[in-house]
Structure 1
Amino acid sequence: MTQTVTTSAVRARASSPALSGPGLFTVLLAAALPLVDFFIVNVALPTIGADLAAGEAVLELVVAAYGVAYAVLLVLGGRLGDLFGRRRLFLAGMAAFGLTSLACGLAPGAWWLVGARAAQGASAAAMLPQVLATIQAATSGGRRARAMSLYGATAGLSMVAGQILGGVLVAADLAGSGWRAIFLVNVPVVLLGLVLAVRYVPETRSPRPEPVDGPGTVLLAVSLLTLLAPLTEGRAAGWPLWTWLSLAAFPLAAAAFYAVERRADRQGRTPLVPPSLFALASLRRGLMLILPFSVGFSGFMFVIALALQRGAGLGPVPAGLALAPMAVAFLFVSLSGPRLIARYGTRVLTAGAVVQGAGVLLIVLAAWRDWPHLGFGSLLPGVTVAGAGQALQLPNLMRIVMSEVPPARAGVGSGVMVTTQQSALALGVATLGTLFLALVPHHGMRDALVVTLLVQLAGVVLTGLLSLRLPRTVG
């Protein structure tokens, strides 16, 4: 009897490794890289186009190739981590991210850059799901809550900091590298991350590894491609026939994916995205909130970069630094997230939506009043308030989504959450970006910016209303 208890205790300890402080820093560093790289190109696109003689459609592919490859492969990346070990996939994905970043930085032409960006997105999809899965599997209780809050804060801060960093690096022209520095800077960061990961990131995997669902993987990829590819490329390509055929195929592909996954679940096999996972109310409702939040966030970042550079005539650095107050507000407010959630529950999310909405309205007023002299001073109140509101939402939303996911399915749960977020980020650039660029020729850039911001505000209101349906407490 003593031997049995001792053996069980040893096995329990072995199956539940702890994530140390340096280990948490390492995985959060890795979480920042893919999101920084999604946004870092926004202010660099004009320079890339001039240097590589790339037209608008090709430049949009530089953004879309990364975002689509990333979104399509995220769930598969989470499943492979559960199957082969999350630390192993984390190291492989990070190493590949460094190599593909080097390929982007050394690209001799535009189409090389497009291909390297697609490979970079695939590498990120192997690396990022392991971050959340490792946190879920190697922490518990208050440590997990703090780690999830820090993850959400890192994600939000990375999206703003990416745009700021892009402007600074392009303008700095380090050693004559110009725009290439925005990719080459990843290489030393990845090397540092690999050294830290080998030492501090524990190996975790599902106790019952589940094989890869081939049909589900293919159908999910087809579903996301038929939606994201035409939306991101349609306007620049002139909406050719393939874009409409692709959009028409999306609901059919999505329905086929759901049918295949549901049948596999009922037959006791292992679907890529188990429909039973959506029985978790926290995951289902949290994803419904992440969708409009991320669409509005990425759409705003893309549109404001275009408006400040093409309309207000700012250079890359002033355009990036105009958003610095948003990053600062996000950082400091997000640190108070765990305490506020513990005290006020999910009402914090509703308050965050109200604060963010007020910030967006201030930005609208600044654009209407000061255009075309829009810059740091006129945007300061609005972006600061909006950043504070976003910080009350995003970190806590991510914590809510993962709160009931069992550690054995941490890879799948994190893959589903990040896929939803990444797909919404790509949709935000495609939909709000397309709306803005379609309005500019007919109504001018100021009015186009104001209308686009009001559409974003509607999404903020929707997020606030949906948050009222959440239970008051968070597990």
Structure 2
Amino acid sequence: MNDGQLGIVLDGLRLALWSDNPNRFRPGYAGKAEQDRQCSRDFPEQQCSRAFQPSFGWEQTMNLATGFAVAATKKAEGDSRRWPALGILLVGAFLPPLDFFIVNVALPSIRSDLKASGSILQLVISGYATAYAVMLITGGRLGDLYGRRLAFIVGMLGFAASSALSGLAWSPVVLVVGRVCQGLTAAIMAPQPLASIEALFSDDEKPRALGFYAMAFGLASAAGLLLGGGLILASPLGLGWRSIFLINLPIVAVTIPLALVLLKETRANEPEQLDSGGALLLAAALFALVLPLVEGREYGWPFWSWLLMATSLPLLIGFWIYELRLDARGGDPLVVPKVIAAPGMKQGLTAALFFYALAAFWLFFSVYDQSGRGKTPFQTGIDILPAAVGFIFGPLISSRLERRVGRWTAPTGMVLLAIGLIGTALCVLYDTAHVLSLPLFAIGLGQGVALPAMTHTITGRVHRKWSGLAAGLVTSMFQIGGALSVAVIGGLFYSLLGNSPTNHSLAQAYAVAVSCIALSLLLAAGLTAGVRRTGSENQRHAT
């Protein structure tokens, strides 16, 4: 008998014996509630409720057989393909943020080649960001309803098609259309890796899997400048800026066949339908919020931007009333009220909103490095490599740290992030840029520690059938938080910079803006510290 077979026998005996009077088999019996909690740590809830019926003789024998079957199922659920499949999923986590950051490097070349105006160039960035943020929650829900592997593959195919349209664009308008389609399809693909991790991996394995997810997510921002600059300099096949979009095609061509072979399909068990009314209301509300945040500063905050932002609040309220009424009628709401009502969920999502103020840092650092130090975008990509190294090591530390300090892991990473940010501000203020690599490494390390722990804390609060929704909510909060930080803290940065910036004004503006981001991260740390980590007994609170 091998170790796996022995494990099945022992687990089967344990479940079968628990089904009889537990006083005969273990000390410290504390009643049925305690019994249920201990069983639910290892076995599905419905099997626990079935197991704890009084049974003797023939029924005990049946319970023993049931115990073996449940244990065998539990062992089989650990699909041996799940770790190779994680590598495929991480491609889907890496590409969406990469394609946001990589375009910034190509804007001068796009302007020259397509004769694009400044406003069109802004739409090349904001069209993607807005479509991505608007669709994320719906994208996550599509995976829950129709299958996460299917949503991942469909999203990736759409992403490849829209990348081809962007790379072959013959006019600025076609490029903007391609970028909007890229954002929409990326939002279908992006929540599936996080949701699939929740569905495929055991509680013991999730911290490690989420660590790899955080590594891919973090490296994408650093890789954008480096890879984009490198592709434009190399200009493979004479493609120039078009290569930053067309590079996605061979990646997708390799990834999709592997996904079909390695990735297990997961979805909600209950038959449900997509809440199209809720999806439209939410899309309208998020569009009204995100578009002015992304575009407003560039156009000097015109009247329409304030009008749209004012409209977003009643639209969000109307959406939530619609969802509550649909749920009360027994329908299938897009955002399930039970998910939002899960203990700590609102607090965790608010922490995610404040946490991703970090997105604005890369804008401020790029401005400082290129305007203050005269670096090219590619050289800026080289300069932030210490942060990329931190992104690699942080997630490796995070899973081990979680076993030691539990819910304090994410706040620890956020405090380290804040220290790194303040460190860069001091280097800039006191003109000691030669030691910037140290605080940049701390930033990467802190994000690598905090991101997987915080994500695990939030998504682990709900039943696995809603993991796509939870993933969409978390990622959407990241995008909204990033847009808010660029709009609010970015506005402060550019107002301090003035119309005729000097190195002194640039250093002051950078220090103030980065300090605001550090404060936001400390707020996120406080919120996350107040959220109790879920145990197995309440991890499926929203059922």
After TM superposition, the score normalised by the length of structure 2 is 0.81
Q: 1:135 — aligned with what?
A: 197
The verdict on how the C-alpha distance between 1:16 and 1:207 changes in structure 2, with shifts beyond 3 A counting, is farther
1:82/1:465 CA distance change after superposition, 3 Å: closer
1:366 is aligned, of 427, 435, 444, to 427
Question: How far off is 1:447 after superposition?
Answer: 2.5
Cα distance, 1:14 vs structure 2: 12
Q: Which residue of 1 aligns with 2:304?
A: 242
CA contact (8 A) 1:206 1:408 kept: yes
Shift in CA distance, 298/50, structure 1 to aligned 2, threshold 3 Å = farther
Partner of 1:210: 272
Matched residues in 1 for 2:344 and 2:246: separation?
Answer: 39
Q: Could you tell me how far apart the structure 1 residues matched to 2:410 and 2:77 are? A: 32
Q: C-alpha offsets along residues 341-400 of structure 1, whole Å, 9 cap, x if unaligned?
A: 1111122222222221211111111222229xx5xx342122112212222211111111
Task: Map 1:72-221; keep pairs closer than 5 Å.
Answer: 72-221=134-283
After superposition, give the CA deviation of every residue in 1:132-160 in whole Å (9 maximum; x if it has no partner).
22222222221233222322222122222
User: In the TM superposition, what is the alpha-carbon distance from 1:94 to its structure 2 partner?
Assistant: 0.8
* Secondary structure of 1:405 counterpart: coil
Residue 224 of structure 1 corresponds to which residue in structure 2?
286
Assess if the C-alpha contact under 8 Å between 1:76 and 1:415 holds in 2: yes
| Matched position secondary structure for 1:410 | helix
Equivalent of residue 380 in structure 1, options 428, 431, 437: 437
Q: Which moved more, 1:22-31 or 1:45-54?
A: 45-54
Does the 8 A contact of 1:293 with 1:459 survive in 2?
yes
Deviation track 1:167-203 (CA, whole Å, cap 9, x = no partner) reads 2222333333222222121111111111210110111
The equivalent of 1:29 in structure 2 is 91
Name the SS of the counterpart of 1:272 in structure 2. Answer: coil
Does 2:112 align with 1:58? no
1:95-149 CA-to-partner distances (Å, cap 9, x unmatched) read: 1111111211222222221111110011111112222222222222212332223
Rounded Cα–Cα distance in structure 2 between residues aligned with 1:5 and 1:341: 34
CA distance in 2, matches of 1:213, 1:394: 30
Q: CA deviation at 1:427?
A: 2.9
Residues 26 and 196 in structure 1, CA contact (< 8 A), matched pair in contact too: yes
1:339 pairs, out of 395, 400, 403, with 400
Give the deviation of 1:416 after TM superposition: 1.5
- Asked if the contact 1:30–1:94 (Cα under 8 Å) also holds between the matched residues in 2, the reply is yes
Which of 92, 110, 129 in structure 2 is aligned with 1:67? 129
CA distance in 1, matches of 2:509, 2:109: 24
Instruction: Using the TM superposition, give the Cα deviation of residue 282 of structure 1 relative to its aligned residue in structure 2, in angstroms.
Output: 4.1
CA deviation after TM superposition for structure 1 residue 93, in Å = 1.0
2:458 counterpart letter in structure 1: V
Shift of 1:472: 6.0
Q: Structure 1 12/272 Cα, relative in aligned 2: closer, same or farther at 3 Å?
A: farther
Answer yes or no: is the 8 Å Cα contact 1:101–1:184 preserved in 2: yes
* Correspondence for 2:460: 403
Contact conserved, 1:171 with 1:316, CA < 8 A, in 2?
Answer: no
Deviates more, 1:255-264 or 1:223-232: 255-264
Residue 325 of structure 2 is aligned with which of 263, 268, 286?
A: 263
Q: Is the 8 A contact 1:70 1:121 kept in 2?
A: yes
1:272 aligns with 2:334: yes
Q: CA deviation at 1:244?
A: 1.5
Distance, in Å, in 1 between the alignment partners of 2:409 and 2:129 is 30
TM-score with structure 1 length normalisation? 0.92
Cα contact 1:36–1:162 (8 A) shared by 2? yes
Q: Write the distance in 1 (CA, Å) between the matches of 2:355 and 2:345.
A: 15
Correspondence list, 1:445-464, <5 A: 445-464=506-525
- SS of the residue aligned with 2:103? coil
8 A Cα contact 2:82 2:201, kept in partner: no
* 2:416 aligned with 1:355: yes
Give the one of 106, 110, 122 matched to 1:44: 106
**2: CA distance, partners of 1:192 / 1:16:** 26
Conserved in 2, the CA contact under 8 Å of 1:43 and 1:305? no
Alpha-carbon shift at residue 212 of structure 1 (Å): 1.2
Aligned-residue sequence identity (percent) comes to 36
Determine which of 425, 429, 438 is the counterpart of 2:486.
429
SS at match of 1:142: coil
1:345–1:473 Cα contact (<8 Å) kept: no
User: In structure 2, what is the Cα distance between the partners aligned to 1:24 and 1:357?
Assistant: 30
Q: Report the counterpart of residue 419 of structure 1 in structure 2.
A: 476
Q: Does the 8 A contact of 2:461 with 2:534 survive in 1?
A: no
Contact 2:460-2:534 within 8 A present in 1 as well: no
Question: Secondary structure of 2:289's partner?
Answer: helix
SS in 2 for 1:208: coil
The structure whose Rg is larger is: 2
CA distance in 1, matches of 2:104, 2:489: 14
- Aligned mates of 1:97, 1:150 — CA distance in 2: 22
Moved more, 75-84 or 198-207: 75-84
Q: What letter corresponds to residue 341 of structure 1 in structure 2?
A: E
Q: Equivalents in 2 of 1:72, 1:8: separation in Å?
A: 44
Aligned to 1:389: 446
What does the per-residue CA deviation read over 1:398-443, in whole Å, with 9 as the maximum and x for residues that have no partner?
1111112212112222221222122223333333333333332256
User: Secondary structure in 1 aligned to 2:279?
Assistant: helix
Counterpart Cα distance in 2 of 1:474 and 1:103: 47
Determine the C-alpha separation between the residues in 1 that align with 2:366 and 2:236: 22
Shifted more, 359-368 versus 137-146: the winner is 137-146
Equivalent in 370, 379, 383 of residue 322 of structure 1 = 383
Give the Cα separation in 1 of the matches to 2:170 and 2:369: 29
Of the two structures, which has the highest relative contact order with CA contacts closer than 8 Å and spacing of 6 or more?
1
Question: Residues 327 and 387 of structure 1 are in contact (CA less than 8 Å); yes or no, is this contact kept in structure 2?
Answer: yes
Q: Which residue of 1 aligns with 2:51?
A: none
Consecutive unaligned residues in structure 2, runs of 5 or more: 1-58, 537-543
